[in-house]
Structure 1
Amino acid sequence: MTESANAVSGGRATRPFARFEWIIAGRYLRARRKEAFISVIASLTMVGVAIGVATLIVVMSVMNGFRGELLDKILGLNGHFTAHPIESQFTDYKETVAALQQIDGVSFAVYFVEGQVLASGRGASTGVSVRGMDEENLKKLSLLYNGAEQGGFDQWDDSKGVAIGYRLAQQLGLSLGDQVQIINPDGAMTPFGSTPQIRSYPVNVIYNLGMVEFDSFFMYMPLEPAQDYFRLVDEVLKPGMGPLDPLASDEEIDAAYERIPRVSAAEIFIDDPDQVNLMRQRIQSTPGIRPMVLTDWQQRNETFFSALQVERVVMFTILSMIILVAAFNIIASLIMLVKDKSADIAVLRTMGATRGSIMRIFSITGTTIGVIGTLAGTVIGLIVAANAETLRASISNLLGVTLFPPEVFFLSSLPSRTDPVEVTVVVCMALGLSFLATIYPAWRAAQYDPVEALRYE
């Protein structure tokens, strides 16, 4: 008894977290037959902390991946800025794009023709957006150029065909080499009004970008056929040419007129997508650049990405409640442990243990539950987040249902990107709540009166 008392009341007891405190806390964590119920509660609490931490890491990683993948897809096909001319028709598009690409911070720029049409295949029709681009500009869009599953963009300018997404091909019942009919209601003017313009083009390329909106809505064709189809080529009488003879031949008429093609707009890709305000000022203040209306990607997708951000914050807050509930379970299990160990506390106090030692013993016990649960949850969460798509596919095959259908979630796979900063925040929050949960039970244990605790022993 004297040696034990010296071990408790000696100089080592005055140091924070003395060795005997760790030993006693460790014994309280190990189950005995008569303490099995308390041990089960502690184990369930540990599991609750692990589940909360793992769930937070997985959900935040998937939402980061979802946002990042959408951003990569959207900005991989659509520019950070869309530029429309103000004063006149966009006929100097080549010179404008060349000048834009010389601006510091601009990666590259492309010009294109765009229009809305009705596309028809084998017994099915749907509205699509047609974009006309030449091969030089298509090569700049690596996501599209490298996304061809059938066919290819080689000799694109001379192909006289179109490129469609694989989902659009499925919807229209088309395959490589089939004819797709496109109908533009804004056709040629006649004495009886505007007549629809109907033409058919062979399908030369079927691409897969992994995003439902792009794979089912966009159709690409070479620039010159697109300019001709959407009537974006102006025929102007050449300078110095007088009035033509009414009986002039077609060759003489063609020689007298100059064809001036134009495009719908240009798209500008910048090095840092977050620096849109700075780059807007830089582009607009660059001398020699014609006046243009610049619409950035944040303006085009403001509602969508704002909704994603709100959902992200809400999900983090809701799922944090799991860890908070587990922290309350730590409080409950420690209070039960304190009640069960009241006699042990009294003995330790009579042997010279201070109130601070008693508090530290139960703080170590509760914090250890939180630390083990947090570490286990972190490991589980990182493993699940790294294999999110594999697990989704396995569960879908096992249950025979489609989890996260691409028609709803835009993407054909479940992306996941783990942010080390967010993982650190989750771990620190779990450890902090676990420690705070031990304060009150440990304080109550330290307030036990040894005499009252041992009176009925």
Structure 2
Amino acid sequence: MSESPAAASTGRSTRPFSRFEWLIAGRYLRARRKEAFISVIASLTMVGVAIGVATLIVVMSVMNGFRGELLDKILGLNGHFTGFPIESQFTDYKETVTALEGVDGVDFAVYFVEGQVLATGQGQSTGVTVRGMDEENLKKLSLLYNATEQGGFDQWDESRGVAIGYRLAQTLGVNLGDQVQIINPEGTMTPFGSTPQIRSYPVNVIYNLGMVEFDSYFMYMPLEPAQDYFKMVDEVLKPGQAQLDPLATDEEIDAAYMRVPRASAVEIFIDDPDQVGLMRQRLQSAPETRPLVLTDWQQRNETFFSALQVERVVMFTILSMIILVAAFNIISSLIMLVKDKSADIAVLRTMGATRGSIMRIFSMTGTAIGVIGTIAGTIIGLIVAANAEALRSSISNLLGVTLFPPEVFFLSSLPSRTDPVEVTVVVCMALGLSFLATLYPAWRAAQYDPVEALRYE
């Protein structure tokens, strides 16, 4: 059944919002000369809502991208679990990796040799972490294997060279093919004390992971040279071999002894990084694995990621204040509008408009300001978030200043990942505050007494 003309003219309607109410609310939104000041306040309020929504979307997207990139890169090279041997020397590392990869929920595992050294290039020196790995295990670390800028990991085991990050190459002043000298203070024992272990290796690979920590402080080496350099190879008698005569020749000694290489630890990568508690139980109870001391990625990075989470909450709370201030501006602009339209309200009431109709008119007027601002802010925020790195580069080039320096923020570029759930929360919050801001002015307008309002007109 259609709405009657009388009902439309008086605001009485069977629908929540009648065409008459939409018409009056739209008229109040359009500026006229004598209402220019109120219109300016409403426009500024709309801009405030848009800025608040856009800022929240951009900041939360950048923080999501920052956390995601750090997590991907940290867990792309360092496993979700690191296992250190106990009870005996870690000589069965290959069998241990095979057993670990058979545990349900484990993606893959790698073994490695690791040590701290001083690296020297063309007159420059810096401390680095050397990690020895064979090509089979490097291929499992696709993030590193595919990050080469110069050279490559083909025939890595036979290369007898090293792989370094491009920032470390800049620090040492070396290029592909140049020699890097590494010094280990725990060298060979002599009657006069320990002498440093000093060796030189050619640079066969320069990689770029986009993360300052790995590009500046990590050096990779084939497994066997690393085991030899860090003295991770034991000389033991072959099974069944009797003790040699003290006067045995070198050939007899070589024939009687065998080399038993060791590893430092294993990295374990699991399918779901958040299931570290469950996976710890599975790994420790697996019957075929040797005893290992396990540390997970949450333990290693607990302080860092906790600080990121606190920062996310604080930034969201602080930036939400922009929308809250804009909501207060909606209240002030609507109160001014209600004051200015007191005579119109009285006329509408005398024509039969109900209090509810008056309240809906001004609620729609104020809510429309918030809706338009929210839509505009959402569009701007999504565009800026999608082009965050391009905008950062443009502003940096224009001002001649490095924004978000990699040395401070760990990453070479400004990442951005927009979360649809967070965008929805921001939009709903902006719309909700905008609607709540209209209730008091609209209620005040509905309470106007037509007689009192027209007395002095």
Asked whether the two chains share a fold, i.e. TM above 0.5, the reply is: yes
Q: Which residue does 2:10 correspond to in 1? A: 9
Q: Compared with structure 1, are the counterparts of its residues 303 and 10 closer, same or farther at alpha carbon in structure 2 (3 Å cutoff)? A: closer
Q: How does 1:25-424 map to 2 (within 5 A)?
A: 25-424=25-424
User: Contact 2:367/2:435 (CA < 8 Å) preserved in 1?
Assistant: yes
User: Contact 2:12/2:353 (CA < 8 Å) preserved in 1?
Assistant: no
User: Contact 1:5/1:352 (CA < 8 Å) preserved in 2?
Assistant: no
| More deviation, 265-274/14-23 | 14-23
| More deviation, 404-413/187-196 | 187-196
Q: Quote the Cα distance in structure 2 between the aligned partners of 1:86 and 1:33.
A: 84
Please state whether the residue corresponding to 1:129 is helix, strand or coil. strand
- Post-superposition Cα deviations, 1:172-218, rounded to whole Å, max 9, x if no partner, equal 00111111011111111112221111111111110000000000000
| More deviation, 359-368/281-290 | 281-290
Please state whether the residue corresponding to 1:109 is helix, strand or coil. strand
Q: Quote the Cα distance in structure 2 between the aligned partners of 1:251 and 1:345.
A: 111
Shift in Å, 1:5? 6.6
Q: Quote the Cα distance in structure 1 between the aligned partners of 2:241 and 2:360.
A: 100
User: Contact 2:166/2:216 (CA < 8 Å) preserved in 1?
Assistant: yes
Q: Quote the Cα distance in structure 2 between the aligned partners of 1:317 and 1:38.
A: 30
Shift in Å, 1:288? 1.4
Percent same amino acid at aligned positions?
88
Q: Once superposed, which parts of structure 1, at least 4 consecutive aligned residues long, lie more than 4 Å away?
A: 3-6
Q: Which residue does 2:431 correspond to in 1? A: 431
Q: Quote the Cα distance in structure 2 between the aligned partners of 1:107 and 1:328.
A: 53
- Post-superposition Cα deviations, 1:284-335, rounded to whole Å, max 9, x if no partner, equal 1111111101100000000000000000000000000000000000000000
Shift in Å, 1:239? 2.8
| More deviation, 323-332/238-247 | 238-247
Shift in Å, 1:246? 3.4
Please state whether the residue corresponding to 1:426 is helix, strand or coil. helix
- Post-superposition Cα deviations, 1:9-36, rounded to whole Å, max 9, x if no partner, equal 3752x54211111100000000001101
Letter of the structure 2 residue corresponding to residue 367 of structure 1: T
Q: Compared with structure 1, are the counterparts of its residues 6 and 304 closer, same or farther at alpha carbon in structure 2 (3 Å cutoff)? A: closer
Q: Quote the Cα distance in structure 2 between the aligned partners of 1:170 and 1:203.
A: 13
Please state whether the residue corresponding to 2:150 is helix, strand or coil. strand
| More deviation, 240-249/277-286 | 240-249
Structure 1 stretches of 5 or more lacking a match?
Answer: none
Shift in Å, 1:454? 0.8
Letter of the structure 2 residue corresponding to residue 240 of structure 1: G
- Post-superposition Cα deviations, 1:64-88, rounded to whole Å, max 9, x if no partner, equal 0000000000010110000001111
Please state whether the residue corresponding to 1:185 is helix, strand or coil. strand
Letter of the structure 2 residue corresponding to residue 33 of structure 1: R
Please state whether the residue corresponding to 1:184 is helix, strand or coil. strand
Q: Quote the Cα distance in structure 2 between the aligned partners of 1:125 and 1:314.
A: 40
TM-score under structure 1 length normalisation:
0.98
TM-score under structure 2 length normalisation:
0.98
Q: Quote the Cα distance in structure 2 between the aligned partners of 1:300 and 1:96.
A: 22
Shift in Å, 1:385? 0.5
User: Contact 1:284/1:291 (CA < 8 Å) preserved in 2?
Assistant: yes
Letter of the structure 1 residue corresponding to residue 67 of structure 2: R
- Post-superposition Cα deviations, 1:245-265, rounded to whole Å, max 9, x if no partner, equal 333332221111111100000
User: Contact 1:389/1:413 (CA < 8 Å) preserved in 2?
Assistant: yes
Letter of the structure 1 residue corresponding to residue 271 of structure 2: D
Letter of the structure 2 residue corresponding to residue 213 of structure 1: E
Please state whether the residue corresponding to 1:91 is helix, strand or coil. coil
- Post-superposition Cα deviations, 1:143-182, rounded to whole Å, max 9, x if no partner, equal 1111111110001000011000000000000111111011
- Post-superposition Cα deviations, 1:74-106, rounded to whole Å, max 9, x if no partner, equal 010110000001111110000000011111111
Structure 2 stretches of 5 or more lacking a match?
Answer: none
- Post-superposition Cα deviations, 1:96-140, rounded to whole Å, max 9, x if no partner, equal 000111111111000000000000111111100000000000000
Shift in Å, 1:241? 2.5
Please state whether the residue corresponding to 1:82 is helix, strand or coil. strand
